[in-house]
Structure 1
Amino acid sequence: MRRIRAAAAGAVTISLLTAATACGGGSSSGGSNDSPKTLTYWASNQGASVEVDKKVLQPELDKFEKQTGIKVKVEVVPWSDLLNRILTATTSGQGPDVLNIGNTWSASLQATGALLPWDAENFDKIGGKDRFVDSALGSTGAQGKDPAAVPLYSMAYALYYNKKMFADAGISQPPATWDELIADGKKLSKDGKWGLGAEGSNPSENIHHAFVFAQQHGAGFFTADGKPDFTSEGAVAAVKQYVDLMAKDKIIAPGNAEYAQNQSVSDFAKGKSAMLLWQSASANLTSQGMSEDAYGIAPVPVQSGTPGTGTNVNSMVAGINLAVFKNTDNLDGATKFVKFMTSDAEQKILNKAYSSIPPVKNAQADPTFNTPANAVLKDTLAKSAAALPQVADESQFETSVGTAVKELFADAAAGRPVTTESVRAKLGKAQQQMPTK
Structure 2
Amino acid sequence: MPSPGRGRSVFKPITGAAAATAAGVLLLSGCTSSGPADSQPTSAISAGASHAPTTVTVWTFNHLPNEVAAFKATLGQLHAKYPWLTVKFVPNKDDAAYAKAVAAGDPPDVFISSAPDNVAKFCYNGTVADLKPYLSSAGVDTAKTFPAATLVYTRYQDKQCALPLLTDAFALYYNKKMFAEAGITKPPRTLAELTAAAKKLTKKNPDGSIKTFGFVPRSDFNANRYIFTGVQSGTDFYGKDGKTTFADDAKWQQLLKWDRELIDYYGASNVQKFVGRYQPHADDASNPLLTGAAAMEFDGEWHVGEIATLKKDFDYGVVPMPVLDAQGTGYGAGNTLGTVAYLSAGSKHKQEAFFALQQLTTDTTFLNQLADTVYNIPSTFAALKAWDKASDPHWKPFVDLFQNSGSYYKTLTPAGVEDMDTWRAFLLEYEQGKVKDAASGLSGVGKKIDDLNAQSGQ
TM-score for the superposition, normalised by structure 2: 0.73
Query: Are residue 211 (structure 1) and residue 229 (structure 2) matched?
Result: yes
Work out which of the residue numbers 337, 346, 357 in structure 1 matches 2:356.
Answer: 337
Matches within 5 A, 1:58-207: 58-68=72-82, 70-77=86-93, 82-101=94-113, 102-122=115-135, 124-125=137-138, 127-129=140-142, 130-143=144-157, 145-190=158-203, 191=205, 192-197=211-216, 200-201=219-220, 205=223, 207=225
How far is the alpha carbon of 1:112 from its aligned partner?
Answer: 1.9
Match of 1:295 in 2: 316
Matches within 5 A, 1:5-404: 17-18=23-24, 36-37=54-55, 39-44=57-62, 50=64, 53-54=67-68, 56-68=70-82, 70-77=86-93, 82-101=94-113, 102-122=115-135, 124-125=137-138, 127-129=140-142, 130-143=144-157, 145-190=158-203, 191=205, 192-197=211-216, 200-201=219-220, 205=223, 207-212=225-230, 215-232=231-248, 233-248=250-265, 253-258=271-276, 263-266=281-284, 267=287, 268-286=289-307, 289-291=310-312, 293-304=314-325, 308-309=329-330, 312=331, 314-341=333-360, 342-368=362-388, 369-381=390-402, 382-404=404-426
Q: 1:276-326: CA deviations, max 9, x gaps?
A: 1122134542375032752211111122388654xx574123222211212
Give yes or no for contact 2:256–2:438 (8 Å, CA) kept in 1: no
Please provide the CA RMSD for this pair. Answer: 3.6
SS of residue matched to 2:60: strand
Amino acid of the residue matched to residue 227 of structure 1?
Answer: K
How far is the alpha carbon of 1:237 from its aligned partner?
Answer: 3.4
Distance 1:428 1:282, change over 3 A: closer
Match of 1:10 in 2: none
SS of residue matched to 2:59: strand
Give yes or no for contact 1:42–1:75 (8 Å, CA) kept in 2: yes
Give yes or no for contact 1:401–1:430 (8 Å, CA) kept in 2: no
How far is the alpha carbon of 1:107 from its aligned partner?
Answer: 2.0
> Which has more radius of gyration?
2
Give yes or no for contact 1:40–1:74 (8 Å, CA) kept in 2: yes
CA distance in 1, matches of 2:172, 2:311: 16
SS of residue matched to 1:196: coil
CA distance in 1, matches of 2:70, 2:246: 39
CA distance in 1, matches of 2:258, 2:69: 39
TM-score for the superposition, normalised by structure 1: 0.76
Distance 1:51 1:249, change over 3 A: farther
CA distance in 1, matches of 2:186, 2:224: 26
**Structure 1, unaligned runs of 5 or more:** 1-13, 21-34
Amino acid of the residue matched to residue 235 of structure 1?
Answer: W
SS of residue matched to 1:41: strand
SS of residue matched to 2:159: coil
Distance 1:431 1:134, change over 3 A: closer
CA distance in 2, matches of 1:282, 1:396: 27
How far is the alpha carbon of 1:176 from its aligned partner?
Answer: 1.7
Distance 1:346 1:15, change over 3 A: closer
Distance 1:302 1:104, change over 3 A: same
CA distance in 1, matches of 2:265, 2:111: 41
Distance 1:226 1:256, change over 3 A: farther
SS of residue matched to 1:372: coil
How far is the alpha carbon of 1:115 from its aligned partner?
Answer: 0.7
Distance 1:390 1:293, change over 3 A: same
Amino acid of the residue matched to residue 18 of structure 1?
Answer: G
Amino acid of the residue matched to residue 221 of structure 1?
Answer: F
CA distance in 1, matches of 2:427, 2:321: 20
SS of residue matched to 2:215: strand
Distance 1:425 1:391, change over 3 A: closer
Amino acid of the residue matched to residue 454 of structure 2?
Answer: T
